[in-house]
Amino acid sequence: MVDMINGPVLDAGEYLLFFITLLSLFSPPAAIAAFASLTERFAADIQKKVAKRVARNYIIVMFISLTVGEYILIALGINTPALMVTGGIAIFLAGIPMMTYGQKLSTVSKEDEYQAVPRSDWEQVVAVPMTFPMACGGATIAIAISTASMTSAPVDYLILLLITVLMAAIVYGITLAASGLAQRLGGSIDILTRVSGIIIVAISIQILARGISGLIEIYG
């Protein structure tokens, strides 16, 4: 930890990496295909409510992860490098199927089950699977906690929270427009999903390297 009066600890590159990591993990191409399969049967006003709920849930989960997630880890005796390694592995495992299978991964395996949910009970799909794990999975939470644990400067927390709000706005827009975008993009979604997978795998290797380096410093 550093003295709060010293100002920001994270640099612009780390802010950008945090945003790109969150965006890649959310993977708009994959989200479009998956969300469309869940929301296209709902009326326009219901789709708007769904989008608002998912975005709100995203902010809540990320706010908790950024502000108190580190203290939970301390209570459990888990250090930051170990979390970074775990997050890197989680991101790697999330990226490989996207890179390999593309849009096929985005098709909800239990689509028939969700299609059977009454239109009036749209709340049933907001928390699971739309918020977790589609919008905000375990790897996203791990990266939020590990990034926040790298600083104690209020300005860093503020910028990370602002990035989270920006991501929530993207989540809202993608969720709301998923049905229409899926029809317009067609087969292009598959290519975009694979590209997202490649980016995620590259980021995971970088995070793994930083985490392993930190573990060596602690236990080496």
Q: What are 200-219's pLDDT values in tens digits? A: 888 889 889 988 998 999 88
70 and 149 Cβ atoms separated by less than 8 Å? yes
Distance of alpha carbon 155 from alpha carbon 107, whole angstroms: 40
Q: What are 119-162's pLDDT values in tens digits? A: 557 888 898 889 988 899 888 998 999 899 888 899 999 999 99
Residue 59 has pLDDT above 90, yes or no: yes
pTM more than 0.75 = yes
Q: Shortest CA distance to 135 belongs to which of 187, 59, 210?
A: 59
Distance of alpha carbon 101 from alpha carbon 99, whole angstroms: 6
